[in-house]
């Protein structure tokens, strides 16, 4: 079987509706696409070809924090701090964000757990001044993606991995949101500092009673309403949605089911 080429993948993402100048947060299951001539770098190049030099490609990184050992005094000092330039993206996010992060010219935001990589015309703007508390809120790459009418591209990725819906959780007026507080090591002026962080919980459903994969239900309901573009990128099923629309839909979905008193 012939591999997918950069040119063909660029045609596929353009056919979905990616336009020159777009900002797009991408989640990609690389194996689902099939063999790619040039590997994952060719997919990154293909998306950049579609959005052009003024467009911006984003990926959700998080980071590989060894938090299981943070409470062990004999190991705490050996835990590597978060460094936007060197810290690996979380393994559970797949290879795509790590590949994007390491492309020459890519930028990465400074909130460890909510960190995003960005490449292209507005990469610096998207990643600058990321809030260190509540890093999925307005002062984040997610909030900025909504502000500029960006898009979300899912290529062979499970629907429940649409990270932008954490932004909807942040904005939704619903009661009893779970809040987590923790410490993490961060590289500050060349030295490791353990900083305090506070976030709405993103590792578990934000309120009690929601199923673990409820993002998939929100996205499926959104797709059923017809507010998306669907197609193929390589062999993978792909979906392109408007960022502001899916966030508004997610907020409405949550607030209707869990109204605030």
Q: What is the pLDDT of residues 199-221, one digit of tens each?
A: 999 999 999 989 999 999 999 99
Where is pLDDT greater, at 72 or 23?
A: 23
* Inter-residue contact 18 to 50 (CB < 8 Å): yes
Query: What's the first-to-final CA gap in the chain, in angstroms?
Result: 58
pLDDT 10s digits, 16-36: 999 999 999 999 999 999 999
Mean pLDDT of 105-114: 97
pLDDT, tens digit, for every residue of 117-131?
999 999 999 999 999
| pLDDT of res. 182 | 92
* 73 pLDDT tier (thresholds 50, 70, 90): confident
CA–CA distance, 33 with 131 (Å, rounded to integer): 34
Extents of the domains making up the chain: 6-257
pLDDT at residue number 261 = 82
Q: Which of 169, 186, 14 is nearest to 84 (CA)?
A: 186
* pTM for the whole structure: 0.95
* Phi and psi at residue 222, to the nearest 5°: -65, -45
The pLDDT of residue 126: 98
Of all residues in the chain, what percent are helix, strand and coil, respectively (each to 5)?
A: 35, 20, 45
pLDDT class of 70 with cuts at 50, 70, 90: confident
Phi-psi category of 238—alpha, beta or left, where left has phi over 0 and alpha has psi -120 to 50?
beta
Q: What span, in angstroms and rounded, lies between the C-alpha atoms of 153 and 195?
A: 33
Q: What is the pLDDT of residues 133-144, one digit of tens each?
A: 999 999 999 999
For the chain, give the mean pLDDT: 96
């Amino acid at each position: 079987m012939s591999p997918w080429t950069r040119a063909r993948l660029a045609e596929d993402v353009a056919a979905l509706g990616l336009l020159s100048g777009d900002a797009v947060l991408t989640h990609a299951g690389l194996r689902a696409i099939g063999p790619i001539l040039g590997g994952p770098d060719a997919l990154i190049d293909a998306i950049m070809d579609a959005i052009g030099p003024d467009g911006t490609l984003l990926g959700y990184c998080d980071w590989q924090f060894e938090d299981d050992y943070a409470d062990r005094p004999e190991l705490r000092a050996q835990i590597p701090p978060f460094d936007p330039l060197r810290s690996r993206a979380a393994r559970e996010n797949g290879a795509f964000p790590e590949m994007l992060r390491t492309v020459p010219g890519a930028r990465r935001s400074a909130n460890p757990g909510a960190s995003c990589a960005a490449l292209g015309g507005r990469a610096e703007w998207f990643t600058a001044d990321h809030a260190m508390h509540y890093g999925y809120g307005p002062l984040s790459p997610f909030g900025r993606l909504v502000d500029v009418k960006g898009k979300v591209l899912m290529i062979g990725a499970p629907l429940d991995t649409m990270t932008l819906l954490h932004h909807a959780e942040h904005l939704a007026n619903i009661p009893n949101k779970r809040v987590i507080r923790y410490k993490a090591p961060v590289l500050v002026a060349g030295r490791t500092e353990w900083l305090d962080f506070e976030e709405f919980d993103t590792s578990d459903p934000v309120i009690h009673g929601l199923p673990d994969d409820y993002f998939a239900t929100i996205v499926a309901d959104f797709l059923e309403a017809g507010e998306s573009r669907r197609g193929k990128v390589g062999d993978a099923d792909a979906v392109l949605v408007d960022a502001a629309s899916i966030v508004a839909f997610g907020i409405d979905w949550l607030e209707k089911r869990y109204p605030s008193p």
